[in-house]
Amino acid sequence: TREFFFLLAEVAACARQGSNPAPMEGSGDALAKKRRLAISPRPVCFSCRLVAAPMVGASDLAFRLLCRRHGADTCYTEMLFSERLLSDEAYRRRKLQTCVDDRPLIVQLQGNDPATVAAAAALVERTCPCDAIDLNLGCPLPQAEAQVFGAYSDHRTDGVPLLLFSV
């Protein structure tokens, strides 16, 4: 988990600078080495001693502020559907609602199409003052299996690295 927070910080820093990690070219061992370098750990720039994890249907602004009142340093939004963030303005306004006391904040995105997830991450970066963007690679829900995201992302193919590098 700690290494994943390092990656999140790197992704957020790239997004703030308006850049993306370098595209991966090559094959075999050379490609694997480039991927390891691109996802090398970086220190986070905010406290993550006590973290309120993302909970679908629960991690709204009121709940996050309550968690902070009781000691949470960092909070997640609930898992947000990338496609819906792009197409449904009411959903986007409701799910990305935040305030000055809701920091540091990590927005968690779900998706299996690199272009859609990248567009959603860019939209979040432009419209929501967050400190990091998390890509959900662990959701065990039946819906995740049916739509091939979260824990059901195919880790044996380039699907997960493409998601990471697209953001």
- Contact between residue 6 and residue 44 where contact means Cβ atoms under 8 Å apart: yes
Q: Check 48, 67, 75, 139 and give the catalytic one.
A: 139
Q: Which of 11, 71, 64, 15 is nearest to 47 (CA)?
A: 71
At residue 93, the 3 state secondary structure works out as helix
Residue of 55, 40, 43 lying closest to 138 (CA atoms): 55
Q: Is 75 a catalytic residue?
A: no
Q: Which residue has the tokens 């720039």?
A: 45
Where in the chain does DSSP place strands (E)?
51-52, 74-81, 105-110, 132-135
**34, two tokens:** 């480039």
Q: What is the C-alpha to C-alpha distance for residues 150 and 79, in angstroms, rounded to an integer?
A: 10
Cα–Cα dist 98/72, whole Å: 16
Catalytic annotation, residues:
139
